[in-house]
């Protein structure tokens, strides 16, 4: 079975994968934006507790472990608050009783299926070398509408690595992060629904399968007594900007909304770009991050190893400001993000080929750079089974706008809820529902209409002028045992292919996340 992971690399990674498989039984946790050391946390479906009711295997007790991760600690430049100062003086954005609990990472560690090898993992970690092996599998079936009934499966098998360069080679305060992963499977939207713009599963991503892809590989360092943090290397932008744990409880919104993931200027895991981000807190309730990244076609270097084959078309300069207040006596956290990205690459007008009959008075616009603007917000509305930031129910919404004439998606908006412990005696299950709407570029629609009127092909897999589509998604996350979460999924795709030609599609499926 393992040979699938080695094809295309001549078996050179066999010792690495063998060691990683054997050692990845007591994972490390990526921490959140809090000012305190962060406890080991559970996925969105679980809260940190010594045991989980109705589960035979006991959960590992939470331990405060000093994790050398960028998100562990970031102290404010000025010991004050911004807008939060207008709220009750008892609502402090860094209240010690409400840890960040890994809120701002794409995924969280939540125990292990084989905890018996924990001493081996801790022995390596104490010497500066940490591993985690994670499996994510998604099966989705189209059961009505679309092109045809059928089911597809995709998976992501990932080894995450952390090197403490202080312990290994004496570079105190420097850390090296790396991810090598395998991705296989097929996209149900392509095969059975007739949808090739909006991805209906997370794992397929935008880059297709890869036998042993190198994803993130970057160094990290904090300065000025943990007030400024930098990451430099090969980084996926959507693991840093426009993402959250809440969004990644939804299959379609992880690691960021589709209108952010689609443009070439935003590298999407497992695709990475050369660049770096600097992050700091101007005040206790604000976090500002910005950076600069090299931009190239996403289809190049599908393995992550062939850096020399990548071309450069421009640079991306993202910036994101996050306001993180707490409200009320229960300290209900909110996260309000304002983001912008400028991609200097020249992009052509999406009107495409203009029929000869119209060329005298209809012309394509000149190439131009692309701008992306987004607002994302979530607010806890009740607290349940804990004091950390995932212990409760949230309402969330967002809006994304891209330069319309050169972006497949000119606009996207979404709104939904992610709610913990709705069913009696299932306190750690999480239910989520979200509606998302996708508006296509008006220039793309216009060009397709011109070609349709002229009797010309509108493009591959296009059966009419594409205008908009929408998806209703719902899930129910179930913690089965420490290290294993099973999530039934439901999706209803409206206007597949962004036209009214293909019938609306109904999909059901299952997502499994396991820390081995």
- The DSSP call for residue 76 is B
Question: What is the rounded end-to-end Cα distance, in angstroms, of the chain?
Answer: 16
**DSSP string over 188-217:** HIIIII--SSS-SSSTTTTT--EEEEEEEE
- Give 137's contacts (C-beta < 8 A, 6+ positions apart): 153, 154, 155, 156, 203, 511, 512
Model pTM? 0.84
Residue 309: predicted pLDDT: 76
- The DSSP call for residue 170 is S
Task: Supply 111's token pair.
Answer: 């125990």
- Give 315's contacts (C-beta < 8 A, 6+ positions apart): 275, 292, 293, 294, 295, 343, 344
CA–CA gap between residue 503 and residue 494 (Å, rounded): 8
CA–CA gap between residue 69 and residue 134 (Å, rounded): 18
- Local structure of 347: helix, strand or coil: strand
Q: Which residues of the chain carry a pLDDT beneath 50?
A: 1-71, 96-109
Give phi and psi for 505, each to the nearest 5: -115, 145
Task: Supply 139's token pair.
Answer: 């099966």
83 closest CA partner among 323, 330, 380, 328: 323
Strand (E) or helix (H) holding 120: helix 118-126
Domains delineated in the chain: 2-295+311-355+368-515 (2.40.160.180)
Per-residue pLDDT of 198-247, as tens digits, reads 999 998 755 555 678 888 999 999 999 999 999 999 999 988 999 988 99
Give phi and psi for 17, each to the nearest 5: -65, -40
Is residue 486 within 8 Å of 510, Cβ to Cβ? yes
Q: Considering all CA atoms of the chain, what is the largest pairwise distance in Å, rounded to the nearest integer?
A: 75
Strand (E) or helix (H) holding 266: none
Strand (E) or helix (H) holding 166: helix 165-169
CA–CA gap between residue 69 and residue 109 (Å, rounded): 14
39 closest CA partner among 29, 50, 25: 29
- Count of C-beta atoms within a 10 Å radius of residue 116: 9
CA–CA gap between residue 496 and residue 142 (Å, rounded): 12
Residue 209: predicted pLDDT: 57
Q: Which ranges in 317-404 belong to alpha helices (H)?
A: none
Compute CA distances 88 → 10, 50, 95, 306, 392, whole Å.
62, 33, 13, 54, 21
Is residue 284 within 8 Å of 81, Cβ to Cβ? yes
Residue 304: predicted pLDDT: 80
- Give 169's contacts (C-beta < 8 A, 6+ positions apart): none
Residue 93: predicted pLDDT: 58
Task: Let me know how long the chain is.
Answer: 516
CA–CA gap between residue 179 and residue 304 (Å, rounded): 10
Task: Supply 112's token pair.
Answer: 């292990």
Residue 10, judged by CB atoms within 10 A of its CB (0-12, 13-18, 19+), counts as exposed
Query: Which residue shows structure tokens 């099966």?
Result: 139
Residue 15: predicted pLDDT: 36
CA–CA gap between residue 375 and residue 447 (Å, rounded): 30
- Local structure of 134: helix, strand or coil: strand
Give phi and psi for 472, each to the nearest 5: -105, 120
Query: Which residue shows structure tokens 């071309």?
Result: 311
- The DSSP call for residue 167 is H
CA–CA gap between residue 183 and residue 270 (Å, rounded): 9
- Give 439's contacts (C-beta < 8 A, 6+ positions apart): 409, 410, 411, 412, 467, 468
């Amino acid at each position: 079975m393992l040979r699938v992971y080695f094809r295309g690399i001549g078996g050179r990674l066999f010792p690495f994968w063998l060691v990683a498989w054997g050692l990845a039984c007591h994972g490390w946790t990526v921490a959140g934006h809090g000012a305190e050391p962060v406890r080991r946390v559970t996925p969105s479906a679980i809260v940190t507790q010594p045991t989980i009711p109705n589960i035979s295997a006991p959960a590992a007790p939470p331990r405060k472990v000093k994790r050398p991760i960028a998100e562990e600690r970031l102290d404010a430049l000025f010991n004050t608050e911004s807008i939060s100062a207008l709220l009750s003086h008892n609502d402090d954005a860094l209240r010690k009783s409400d840890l960040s609990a890994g809120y701002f990472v794409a995924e969280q560690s939540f125990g292990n299926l084989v905890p018996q090898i924990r001493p081996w993992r801790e022995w390596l970690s104490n010497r500066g070398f940490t591993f985690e092996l994670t499996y994510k599998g998604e099966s989705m079936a189209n059961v009505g509408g679309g092109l045809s009934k059928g089911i597809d499966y995709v998976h992501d098998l990932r080894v995450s690595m952390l090197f403490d360069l202080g312990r290994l080679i004496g570079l105190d305060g420097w850390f090296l992060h790396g991810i090598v992963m395998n991705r296989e499977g097929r996209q149900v939207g392509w095969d059975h629904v007739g949808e090739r713009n909006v991805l209906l599963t997370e794992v397929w991503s935008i880059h297709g399968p890869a036998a042993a892809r190198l994803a993130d590989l970057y160094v990290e360092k904090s300065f000025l007594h943990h007030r400024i943090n930098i990451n430099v290397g090969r980084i996926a932008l959507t693991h840093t900007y426009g993402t959250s744990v809440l969004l990644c409880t939804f299959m379609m919104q992880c690691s960021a909304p589709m209108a952010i993931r689609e443009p070439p200027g935003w590298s999407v895991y497992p695709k990475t770009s050369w660049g770096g981000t600097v992050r700091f807190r101007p005040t206790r309730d604000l976090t500002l991050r910005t950076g600069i990244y090299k931009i190239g076609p996403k289809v190049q270097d599908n393995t992550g190893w062939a850096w020399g084959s990548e071309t450069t078309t421009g640079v991306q300069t993202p910036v994101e400001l996050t306001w993180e207040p707490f409200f009320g006596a229960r300290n209900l956290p909110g996260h309000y993000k304002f983001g912008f990205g400028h991609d200097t690459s020249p992009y052509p007008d999406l009107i495409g080929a203009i029929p000869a009959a119209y060329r005298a008075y209809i012309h394509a616009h000149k190439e131009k750079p692309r701008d992306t603007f987004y607002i994302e917000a979530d607010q806890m509305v009740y607290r349940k089974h804990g004091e950390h930031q995932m212990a409760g129910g949230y309402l969330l919404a967002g809006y994304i706008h891209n330069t319309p004439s050169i972006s497949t998606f000119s606009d996207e908006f979404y709104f939904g809820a992610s709610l913990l412990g709705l069913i009696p005696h299932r306190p750690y299950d999480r239910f989520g529902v979200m509606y998302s709407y996708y508006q296509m570029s008006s220039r793309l629609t216009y060009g397709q209409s011109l070609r349709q009127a002229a009797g010309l092909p509108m493009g591959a897999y296009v059966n009419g002028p594409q205008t908009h589509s929408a998806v209703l998604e719902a899930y129910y996350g179930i913690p089965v045992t420490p290290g294993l979460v099973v999530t039934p999924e439901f999706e209803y795709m409206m206007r597949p292919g962004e036209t009214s030609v293909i019938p609306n599609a109904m999909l059901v499926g299952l997502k499994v996340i396991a820390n081995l």
